[in-house]
Chain A
């Protein structure tokens, strides 16, 4: 019963480096989301996807790109990491009103 799996769980990047966070779900959900969580800010939507091959911007998309080449995977990319992108990143998928979250990726940019 994997649900939503995020890889990696922790990462430290230097300013200017790039990386990709992987989100995989095995529930055949159409909708997938990437959120970031900062202290005192709750979760804020970065990008989302309503199906394979589609992506859209959320509330805080700047500095991130996403791709959904396969229905089960939703990738979040940072092309040139900045210290302001230090955060905990959550992926989620949904069907109707059922949402499943991954366990999060803690990213530190130094």
Chain B
């Protein structure tokens, strides 16, 4: 069965520093996609970054990068130069291939707090 594990319920980071949010996954599908979403206190789900299982390079989007280590089945999110507005819940999610029909499976999330 497919599974996403986020082991950090909460994290603190100083403003302007970098922070890494951990995500490990489990799947037997050779083709899959990994996502990170941000959920601020207002509640909406904001897409941050995507990594495909066959992508050769780690995905980057502005201050966000995904540290994809396929052999370790990890897909950590790195936020560089943290800002106060980065304080939010962060969810790692996976879309499997084959018969998954596009469903996203989510981890339990990590609450990030940025300190001024």
Query: Which residues in A have some Cβ–Cβ distance to B below 8 Å?
Result: 31, 33, 35, 40-45, 48, 50, 56, 58, 88, 90, 92, 94, 97, 99, 101, 103-104
Contacts and interface: CB of A to CB of B under 8 A. Distances in A.
B43 interface: yes
Contacts of A40: 9, 108-109
Contacts of B52: 97
Given A97-B95, A103-B44, A45 B103 contact: yes
A48 B101 contact: yes
5 contacts: A35-B106, A41-B108, A43-B106, A99-B35, A104-B43
Contact of B45 (A44, A50, A56, A101): A101
B68 interface: no
A16 to B, nearest CB: 27
A33 B50 CA distance: 19
Interface string B38-75: 00000111010010100000000000000000000000
B84 interface: no
Interface in B82-97: 91, 93, 95
